[in-house]
Structure 1
């Protein structure tokens, strides 16, 4: 009997410790954000104390033991639901940690999108980018917005979540902690936690399990350790649903290795490939970067408010997930009002036709650039008319070639030859706004241009002084557009090189498509002579095109074939592609 009493006392002493934190997860059926009798319990929701992870039972209940660093009770918001409060701070007097969820179509679908911003580093105020971001979310309706850290310092931390939150953005908003968010206090993350909550947590959208982890270094020491993160992450990933895919967020690289092993120390490692990992997404470096690491994408995004250190424009990243868990990305550039510009035919010039391949009929090539930061372009229409009598000749829609460029071919009747024509193009954006541009030109079916060869343009702005000046008495004004073409991705990181009657250009693609090539076009006709794949981002120098990385690939200018491949010690800034 005495032995039984001792066992009973020990059991009673252990019981409170094994169920220190209890609560219930409910469906907010009337969406009142207030607990009431009509709210239904929700089973199968993951809940954590920062170490241990449990799932709610049939009555929506959970219990967790806690550990010495438990400061929040946090739920993994399940797909098909949203909540205003995915975490609750641990307080001495709180007896029950209860959560309310509302049903959500935007977080339910396997096909969904989200927006990443990063390194806004707010110190003295927010800017116009907030409006662009807010309106883009309103118009394109992503499932959530995530900020991957460096909010920045005390001023930024206290200001940012008052401006960028679920209410102001009208979608779920999540944050990561960055190295500059570790500020003075009892421990580096103390202020961040008081404003943004836990530094590691997870949530589900569609068939993706999203995991947020904290950076492991910063301006001030952290209370957490890599082993703390490992211990929670191991428990969290163990409860992923069968068939789910994993996407990881951190302010810095989660792991730099292609093996994708998260390592706390030599005895505590997680093979992330075993969890169907699709991507690791981060910031910190202030540039745009995408790399496919044997099926897992490493995605870095530059800053939204001031552009990247690699000279890329201010942008945020829209990321799309399809029904098969595949991802694609699109950089969205900030600070751009609705605009459209006609690339060709140019105003007050002569435009020639091209023969349609199938019918041989005369066609007028049309190319326009259009963009709006706050909404995507839904379609671009054109109206071609006679400039003298305003009689309509043709109308229709152009085809999207890239995020900026739309083009098409307009069939021209024979009797319009050598007439003055008027072209009107209009962009329609998803927020209902429009942009219009016009061009008046002379259409001449058999118009042929002859180019005058000049000095080679073999470096940035033509010469070593980068003056960009040309002194050639053969040049006569006005200049006439010879040809135009679209490479399919950005060229703002390169300067065209003209040599050997060829135009060389390299493209930049900071999206998952990795459409990065070196191109050679015929100087006179614009005909594509060859193109060769290159890695990510290219820059131009004297008769070379340099590629980010640390390799040299000399190539034949006639064919683009690489002659050899070498990594010299002296090349630290990028690959170099030279032509002979």
Structure 2
């Protein structure tokens, strides 16, 4: 198959910061480097990163300090010295985290959530409806990070979820039936390295974090969670406190880690603003976060595949704070191997960003705006198992992605829930003009994961001539008919499907002239640039004219 894409040493710093040296197990004592605070309240946090041979979580006999491991305060990035030590400045509340290197793993909670950080909140979060971070008190004498050696392969798979976004326990139950059961039955934990949820873990009710985590944990994979706009605490007294419930559960809202040959950067693209009457959000990447990305990537070789994970995507969605997206592009666009994922729109599309989008790199940047596991917020009529059909507004069924990384190349697949893996398109031949603006006698193929420059063809009959299909920007006739059926029920016990939207992966072609009335097989085939081939079949009856 083809895939897309084919330091500082801190020893001298410690001599200045501390008057003692590391000796024996790392505990706070007069002989151990200690976190410090100056007369103006500015602090320096110190600690050690080590290989935790006995998995005790503490640096003790037999454990090995790890040199050249990155540690960050959310802006600066430093490397541990030969004795595994680091030092970082902080000013008040802070998040300190280790950037996991290749061939090591961090500890995980019982729900398989990575534990790679220390949240410093001396006074804790203000009291709000959803609990924030408990008071931590003074800065610990040493903030240490335990890593466990674990060999990571050159090729691996990652499970990708767009917005889970349950409103309540009932919708978590939908997800368990529709999503979790399939992945458990398929044994995905044997074939994937970890999973990712691309934000909107919740739908404003942050009490759903815990039962949702417990449900996804049954899949059996370490799980990365990105912050979304619906994961914020709206009654926090200040917008800067709005992320603290998320942070209590999942850790920093942006960070990075290595896995195998690839480098992953988790971004927080949600920024909250105080309006005259209400708070509102826009997309953004504030200066501290951009500085972190730049400082971190300075330690990542240029030939490494770097994968950015976010909720609000770069394009086709929420407006961005002025200048922030372009400033971020300037940091990353000189790297030859980048990929990014967003969600948020409850649609699915591949975008290749170029100068029309403000991107100035030598090659377009591949940005995947991912379909969601909740589809269109668990809307629409229920099926025979009591699960909403929840088709998204562009006609994409709810599903998940599988990202395959091989060296600095990659491939992305989309899997529709409870359908065979080769179910990759809707084919429709409207017989009447009642399906919106669909033209009678035209074949439409909504190919969910097709690239914009996919080669799409159709033929009539198993031995017919292959005819080209043209990419078409309009709503999917299948979705229009689905929405019309729902609207036709006067007393609907379900949430209405979303408004139709133009589909970016829809192709069309006219039926050949002179096609006789009767029953015909229509085959559609699409070839993606990465070598993926999608096939679909539709059997239709062509009525007599007149």
Same topology, TM > 0.5: yes
**Residue 253 (str. 1) matches residue 277 (str. 2):** no
* 8 Å contact from structure 2 (residues 416, 423) kept in 1: no
In 2, distance between residues paired with 1:507 and 1:265?
Answer: 31
Note if contact 1:151-1:160 (Cα within 8 Å) is conserved in structure 2.
no
Which residue, out of 33, 45, 48, partners 1:24?
48
Change (3 A) 1:22 1:534: same
What SS does the corresponding residue of 1:65 show, helix, strand or coil? strand
Is 2:86 the partner of 1:40?
Answer: no
Structure showing greater radius of gyration is 1
1:507·1:515 contact (CA, 8 Å) conserved in 2? no
Residue 203 (1) aligns with residue 250 (2) = no
Q: Contact conserved, 1:157 with 1:192, CA < 8 A, in 2?
A: no
For the 8 Å contact 2:106–2:146, the answer to whether it is kept is: yes
Cα offset, 1:175, TM superposition: 1.1
Where relative contact order (Cα < 8 A, 6+ residues apart) is larger, the structure is 2
Q: Are the equivalent residues in 2 in contact too, given 1:121–1:156 (CA < 8 A)?
A: no
Gaps of 5+ in 2: 1-15, 20-34, 108-114, 121-135, 273-277, 354-362, 379-389, 479-500, 514-546
Alpha-carbon distance between aligned partners in 2 of 1:458 and 1:314, rounded to the nearest angstrom: 19
- The structure-2 alpha-carbon separation of the partners of 1:552 and 1:35, relative to structure 1 and needing over 3 Å to count, comes to closer
Against the structure 1 CA distance between its residues 164 and 42, is the aligned structure 2 distance closer, same or farther, given a 3 Å change threshold?
A: farther
Residue 415 of structure 2 corresponds to residue 332 of structure 1: yes
Aligned-pair CA distance for 1:142: 1.3
Of 152, 166, 180, which residue of structure 2 is paired with 1:130?
Answer: 180
Give the direction of change, closer, same or farther, for the CA distance of 1:244–1:10 in structure 2 (3 Å limit): closer
* Structure 1 residue 311, shift from structure 2 partner: 2.8
Contact 1:45–1:56 (CA under 8 A) maintained in structure 2: yes
* Alignment partners' CA distance in 2, 1:458 and 1:89: 53
Q: Does 1:98 align with 2:144?
A: yes
**Is the contact between residue 214 and residue 250 of structure 1 (CA under 8 Å) also seen in structure 2?**
yes
Alignment of structure 1 residues 463-542 onto 2, 5 Å: 463-465=432-434, 498=441, 504-511=443-450, 515=454, 517-519=456-458, 521-522=459-460, 526-532=463-469, 534=471, 539=476
Root-mean-square deviation (CA), in Å? 4.3
What TM-score results when the alignment is normalised by the length of structure 2? 0.61
Matched, 1:304 2:373: yes
1:119-178 superposed Cα distances (whole Å, 9 cap, x missing partner): 11122122322333445464543122111101122335532564156x644332111111
Asked if the contact 1:119–1:283 (Cα under 8 Å) also holds between the matched residues in 2, the reply is yes
Contact map agreement 1:47 1:62 (CA 8 A) in 2 = yes
Work out whether 1:316 is the aligned partner of 2:435. Answer: no
In structure 2, what is the equivalent of residue 182 of structure 1?
A: 232
**Which of residues 82, 88, 97 in structure 2 aligns to 1:58?**
82
CA contact (8 A) 1:230 1:269 kept: no
- 1:329 deviates by 1.1
Counterpart for residue 349 of structure 2 = 289
Query: Is 1:232 aligned to 2:292, yes or no?
Result: yes
1:328 touches 1:511 (CA, 8 Å); kept in 2?
no
Q: What's the offset of the Cα at 1:203?
A: 0.6
Distance 1:189 1:235 in 2: 23
Paired residues for 1:257-406 under 5 Å = 263-264=323-324, 270-293=330-353, 294-305=363-374, 306=378, 307=390, 308-323=392-407, 325-335=408-418, 371=420, 402=422
For the residues of structure 2 that align with 1:214 and 1:404, how far apart are their CA atoms?
31
Give the 3 Å change call, closer, same or farther, for CA 37–533 of structure 1 in structure 2.
farther
Q: Pick closer, same or farther for the CA change 1:54–1:195 going to 2, 3 Å.
A: same
How far off is 1:465 after superposition? 4.3
Mapped contact 2:180–2:219 kept (Cα < 8 A):
no
2:305 touches 2:338 (CA, 8 Å); kept in 1? yes
Q: 1:550 to 1:137 in 2, by over 3 A?
A: closer
Structure with a larger share of its residues in strand: 1
For residue 194 of structure 1, report the CA deviation from its aligned partner. 1.6
Structure 1 residues 35 and 277: CA distance shift in structure 2, 3 A: same
DSSP 3-state at the match of 1:26: strand
* TM-fit CA distance, 1:511: 5.0
3-state DSSP of counterpart to 1:193: helix
Which secondary structure does the structure 2 equivalent of 1:331 belong to? strand
- Check whether the contact 2:307–2:339 (CA below 8 A) recurs between aligned residues: yes
In the other structure, the counterpart of 1:341 is: none
SS in structure 1 opposite 2:447?
coil
Does the CA contact (< 8 Å) of 1:46 and 1:75 recur in 2?
yes
Q: Is the 8 A contact 2:351 2:366 kept in 1?
A: yes
Contact 1:149 1:251 in 2 (8 A): yes
Query: 2:288 & 2:194 partners in 1: Cα distance?
Result: 27
User: 1:195-247 CA distances to partner (integer Å, 9 max, x unpaired)?
Assistant: 11111100111222111111233595689961222222221222213532211
Partner of 2:98: 75
Q: State the alpha-carbon separation in 1 of the partners of residues 508 and 82 from structure 2.
A: 62
Supply the distance in 2 between the matched residues of 1:326 and 1:39 (Cα, whole angstroms): 35
1:463-519 per-position Cα deviation (integer Å, ceiling 9, x unaligned): 23469xxxxxxxxxxxxxxxxxxxxxxxxxx999658xxxx4535141559646252
Tell me: CA distance 1:171–1:36, structure 2 relative to 1, closer, same or farther (3 Å): farther
Distance (whole Å) between structure 1 residues aligned to residue 415 and residue 399 of structure 2:
5
Task: Spell out, residue by residue over 1:421-440, the C-alpha distance to the aligned partner (whole angstroms, 9 max, x if none).
Answer: xxxxxxxxxxxxxxxxxxxx
**Aligned in 2, Cα 1:30/1:550: closer, same or farther, shift over 3 Å?**
closer
* Structure 2 equivalent of residue 453 of structure 1: none
- Is it true that 1:243 corresponds to 2:303 in the alignment? yes
Give the match's secondary structure for 1:236.
helix
- The equivalent of 2:522 in structure 1 is none
Tell me the number of residue pairs that the alignment of Structure 1 and Structure 2 aligns. 391
Shift of the 164–110 alpha-carbon distance from structure 1 to 2, 3 Å rule, reads farther
Question: Is the 1:280–1:298 Cα contact (8 Å) retained in structure 2?
Answer: yes
Name the SS for the 1:20 alignment partner: strand
Question: 1:353 — aligned with what?
Answer: none
Pair 45,136 (structure 1): closer, same or farther in 2 beyond 3 Å: farther
Q: What TM-score do the two structures reach when normalised by structure 1?
A: 0.58
